[in-house]
Amino acid sequence: MQKRIAVILVLTLGLVFLNGCTLRGREDDSLVVAIPTDPDSFHPHQSLAAATAEIAFNIYEGLVKAAPDGTVVPALAADWKIEDGGLLYIFTLREDVKFHNGRELTADDVIYCLNRLRDPQVVAKARDYGHIKSITHEGNTIKIQLDQPDAAFLAALTEFSAAIYPQEAEEQLSTQPVGTGPFILKSWQPNNEIVLERFADYWQPELVQLNQVTLRIIPEPATMVSNLLTGHVDLVPRLEPDYLHQVEGNAQLKIVESPMALVQLLAINNARPPFDDIRVRQALNYAIDREQIIEGAAWGKGQPIGSNLSPAMGAWYKDLTDYYPHDPEKAKQLLAEAGYPDGFSATLYLPAPYPLHRSAGEICADQLAAIGIHVDIQVIEWAYWLEKVYTNRDFDLTVIGLDGRLDPHTVLARYESTSSRNFGNFNSPEYDRLLAQGLRETDMAARQEIYHQLQTLLAQEASNVYLMDPSQLAVMRKDVTGWRNYPVYVLDLAPLARVR
């Protein structure tokens, strides 16, 4: 609380200093956007970070893409149809689509990129495309044959990993992306800024309103806000809730609040003692007070959750928020039964670029201390978090946000025992069985029931402590138009414009 009061005083003084100042003007055809971290890699088959995919949405395209309403819409494919009982997908490519290097898109490029998706040695998410049996083409028609029905396949083709790029650019893509999207990467200064320039030969030219967008990398939210107030930044797509009071009521700014479709969780390494004991994991769940975390870390801007699916998923979502009511005494009892009557010590890694996760983690640590679990908090840089926690699975606890997807399977498949995304080492044969069944099921009601069962299993097994779906707070200058929110983690720059 003292820390929060100090932050408010500093920000209030900043507002007094800025009182009467006007936001610095900018050219109508350009925009500056604040983001918290660098991309990890612009290669669609190497990137792990959602923060990269949100930028890459403007550089690359796949056969299809996500729409703001959560549907799948055409992109490089003008249309498609599904035949043979869900086993054959037929896509018709658009004509006269150009890559950023000037060469026209061909069916061979599509086949090359999608064939790489099937190789787990090449693509971390190869499992999402594991039912592809063959990919062929006849002229401008792409035929993808599956070995079994895959209800999530079309949604998987909207992912960054399924982006299409020219074969000859393969070796340079991590730092010099070449796609067909509305913007070209003009320059990238790591830890400073990324400059995107309008692609003059984009196949949908009427969509793009700006000539240039600068993505300024600003890890500290206080600096983001000060840059916004002084006019050095035009848009903050995801304002940290701690700073909302500083921009509310400012006549030169506007705020758009919407669901983030993000699952924030206290992730548990299920394979590491003592967390391999379900009673210990259940104790953590009973120890955590979600409402206190939402109020304390997100200033009330979030919705509590009880499993790894956001309420934004509609009918797919099962409300399990009451599965573990806040009950510290029950938590202590479970610890004693597991052989830890006096508690134990653990390490909690928190990602430096994400203040919401850091704040939530600090509150979690206080709540765990109340049941005898001493938590050593270590704030680490994002690249190190990706390596240590996500890739090497060398951790006890961490607080992180897992981004949403169009289909529930793609969200929940990360808990399959053999998934490369299963960094918490969750292992349940029943879960694996149901997951495979959900992919084959074609009846919508039956499929919804399966994914409700999967969410229930995650809660029953206390796989993690699921905290909230935070609100997305996009703050921008009043003359910025065209903002569109998505149920997936993307930053759609093409429709943005400046209106005087």
Q: Looking at this protein, which amino acid is placed at residue 348?
A: L
Backbone angles phi, psi at 144, to 5 degrees: -115, 115
- Structural domains for the chain: 23-38+181-259+472-498 (3.40.190.10), 50-172 (3.90.76.10), 262-471 (3.10.105.10)
- pLDDT value for 14: 45
Q: Distance between CA atoms of 82 and 88, rounded to whole angstroms?
A: 6
Q: Distance between CA atoms of 129 and 114, rounded to whole angstroms?
A: 9
The answer to whether residues 151 and 443 touch, using CB atoms and an 8 Å cutoff, is: no
Residue 418 CB neighbour total at 10 angstroms = 9
Spatial CB neighbours of 396, under 8 Å, sequence gap ≥ 6: 268, 269, 272, 275, 346, 347, 348
- pLDDT value for 403: 84
Of the candidates 162, 159, 134, 132, which has an alpha carbon nearest to the alpha carbon of residue 148? 132
- pLDDT value for 124: 65
Q: Distance between CA atoms of 132 and 228, rounded to whole angstroms?
A: 46
Token couple for 446: 């039956």
Q: Distance between CA atoms of 244 and 251, rounded to whole angstroms?
A: 14
The 3-state DSSP class for residue 430 equals helix
Of the candidates 40, 94, 279, which has an alpha carbon nearest to the alpha carbon of residue 204? 94
Q: Distance between CA atoms of 118 and 111, rounded to whole angstroms?
A: 11
The answer to whether residues 135 and 88 touch, using CB atoms and an 8 Å cutoff, is: no
Q: Looking at this protein, which amino acid is placed at residue 61?
A: E
Return the DSSP state at 388: I
Tens of pLDDT along the chain (500 residues) come to 444 444 444 444 444 334 333 444 455 799 999 999 999 999 999 888 888 999 999 999 999 999 998 899 999 999 999 999 999 999 999 999 999 999 999 999 999 999 998 887 777 677 778 889 999 999 999 999 999 999 999 999 999 999 999 999 999 999 999 999 999 999 999 999 999 999 999 999 999 999 999 999 999 999 999 999 999 999 999 998 989 999 999 999 999 998 888 999 999 999 999 999 999 999 999 999 999 999 999 999 999 999 999 998 888 999 999 999 999 999 999 999 999 999 999 999 999 989 999 999 999 999 999 999 999 999 999 999 999 999 999 999 999 999 888 899 989 999 999 998 999 999 999 999 999 999 988 888 999 999 999 999 999 999 999 999 999 999 999 999 999 998 888 999 999 999 87
CA-CA distances (angstroms) from residue 81 to 93, 155, 457? 12, 14, 35
Q: Distance between CA atoms of 147 and 134, rounded to whole angstroms?
A: 9
The 3-state DSSP class for residue 51 equals helix
Is the peptide bond preceding residue 182 cis, with omega within 30 degrees of 0? Answer: no
Residue bearing tokens 């259940």: 282
Token couple for 209: 């309103």
Strands (E), 238-357: 253-259, 262-268, 302-304, 344-351
Q: Distance between CA atoms of 76 and 257, rounded to whole angstroms?
A: 31
Token couple for 140: 């401008």
Q: Where are the alpha helices (DSSP H) in 39-188?
A: 50-56, 107-116, 153-156
The answer to whether residues 441 and 194 touch, using CB atoms and an 8 Å cutoff, is: no
Token couple for 457: 């299993």
